[in-house]
Amino acid sequence: MMEVNKIYNEDCLVGLKKLEDNSIDLIITDPPYNIGKDFANDSIDEEEYLKWCKNWISECVRVLKVGGAFYLTLGWQCVAEIKQIFNKEEFMRLKNWIIWYRFDGWKGDKGFAQSHEHILYYIKDNVPPFDLTEFGKHITEKRKEAGYKTVDKLMEDMGLYKLVNRKSGKSGYFSGAGFVESGKKKPTLQEMVKLNKLLELDKKYQIDIKSVDKKKYNVLFNKCDACDDVWLNPKSERKRLGHPTQKPTKLFKRIITVSSNEGDIVLDIFMGSGTTAVSCKELGRNFIGFEVSKDYCEIAKKRLEQNTLTKLNSESISPPKPKGMGIQDGRII
C-alpha cells in the first residue's frame, strides 16, 4: 500500500496502478471538466477526453472497497456522457445525482447564468447481475415459505423502510414502491444482506458479506438519507490560493463526513490545490492524492503546513436543510 497523507506529484493513471484492489474507503475527486482551464487535460478532443475518463474511472472502481463511495464533481458539459461510462460499471450504483448551487454564476452568451455544478455519488455495492424477474419470483416464494403473508411485514422486519401516512389518508412504506418483488428493481447490497438474513435464498443470491468491511455499514447504510440532493451552500471558494478551480473545503468536508469514518483512507486523484487533503486533515481521515502539476502540489503542501486541526463544526458541514420556498439574496430558494 502507498504511504498515506501524501500528495504524489504524478499522473493519476500511473499512481492508481500502485494501489491495491479494494483498498480505498472513499474517493472524492474533481477532474478537469475539459473546458479550457489552465491545467492538464482541460482542453482536449471530446472523444479523447471521454476515453481518458473511462480509464481512470475503471481504475478508481478497482481500488474502491465494496461499500465505499465515489463522488465525482462535474460541469454540465460532460456529466451525461460520464454517467454513460458509469452505467457500464456493473458494480457501481448511482445513489444520488447532486446539484450544487455555487452561487457565482457565469453569464456568458446571453443565456441564463451558469450557477450550478453536478456531483455524481456512487456506491460500489457488488450485487452480482442477475435476472430481476426471476429474482422477484424467488423472493415471493421464499417470503411465503418464511411465513410472511405480506411484503409490508417483510419490509418492516428488514428495518429499512418507514411506514408513512400519505395525504390521501392511506399509509404505505416510504421508498417501498419499487420493492424487489416487482421484478423491476435491482436490490441494493443493503437489501441483499437483509433478505439473506431473513429468508433462505438460493445459493446464487447469497452475498459474501465477509468482503464488506463492517465499518462501512453505517456509511453505506446511509448517514445521509435525511438531506436532499440539491445543495444551496456553500458558495464558490472566494479565497483562491493560486488554483483556478479550487473547491470550498466546506463542500468536501460535508461529503467526507457523511461517507467515511475517522481513520479511513480517502483518495483524490486530481488533488489540485489540496482541498481534499486539508479537509481530511481537519476531519481525522487519511488521504492519498495525485496531482500532475508540480506548482499545484506546492500550493497544496503549503496549505497543509498552514492548516492546523480545527474543531469540527457539525453545523457548518451538515447538508443544507430543505427550507420553504422564499426569496433570499435576490433568488428563489
Ligand X SMILES: C[S@@+](CC[C@H](N)C(=O)[O-])C[C@H]1O[C@@H](n2cnc3c(N)ncnc32)[C@H](O)[C@@H]1O
Binding site for ligand X (CB under 6 A): 11-12, 30-32, 39-41, 243, 245-247, 270, 272-273, 275, 290-293, 296
Q: Which is nearer to ligand X, 265 or 269 (CB)?
A: 269
Q: Which is nearer to ligand X, 142 or 243 (CB)?
A: 243
Residue nearest to ligand X (CB): 272
The nearest distance, CB 92 to ligand X, in angstroms, is: 21
The nearest distance, CB 252 to ligand X, in angstroms, is: 8
Q: Which is nearer to ligand X, 16 or 265 (CB)?
A: 16
Q: Is 242 left (phi over 0), alpha (psi -120 to 50) or beta?
A: left
Which burial class, exposed, middle or buried, applies to 250 when counting CB atoms under 10 A from its CB (0-12, 13-18, 19+)? Answer: middle
The nearest distance, CB 309 to ligand X, in angstroms, is: 20
b vs e for 15-30, b when ≥16 Cβ sit within 10 Å of the residue's Cβ?
bbeebeebbbbbbbbb
Q: Which is nearer to ligand X, 32 or 68 (CB)?
A: 32
b vs e for 307-331, b when ≥16 Cβ sit within 10 Å of the residue's Cβ?
eeeeeeeeeebebeeeeeeeeeeee
Q: Which is nearer to ligand X, 18 or 184 (CB)?
A: 18
The nearest distance, CB 120 to ligand X, in angstroms, is: 15
3-state secondary structure of 171: strand
- What are the grid coordinates assigned to 277, written together? 487533503
Residue (of 289, 272, 279) closest to 250 by Cα position = 279
- For every residue of 197-257, DSSP letters joined together read HHS---GGG---GGGS-GGGHHHHTTTTTTS-SEE--PPPPSS--S-TTPPPHHHHHHHHH
User: What's at 38, amino acid-wise?
Assistant: D
Helices then strands, counting H and E runs in the chain, come out as: 11, 12
Q: Which is nearer to ligand X, 188 or 275 (CB)?
A: 275
Residue (of 296, 235, 233) closest to 268 by Cα position = 296
The nearest distance, CB 278 to ligand X, in angstroms, is: 9
Q: Which is nearer to ligand X, 245 or 260 (CB)?
A: 245
The nearest distance, CB 267 to ligand X, in angstroms, is: 12
User: What's at 62, amino acid-wise?
Assistant: R
Q: Which is nearer to ligand X, 10 or 156 (CB)?
A: 10
The nearest distance, CB 126 to ligand X, in angstroms, is: 27
Q: Which is nearer to ligand X, 24 or 195 (CB)?
A: 24
The nearest distance, CB 39 to ligand X, in angstroms, is: 4
What lies within 8 Å, CB to CB, of 330 at 6+ separation is none
Element (H, E) at 291: none
The nearest distance, CB 43 to ligand X, in angstroms, is: 11
- What are the grid coordinates assigned to 102, written together? 455555487
- For every residue of 89-115, DSSP letters joined together read -TTEEEEEEEEEEEEEEE--TTS--EE
Query: Which residues, listed in sequence order, are joined to residue 92 by a DSSP beta bridge?
Result: 124
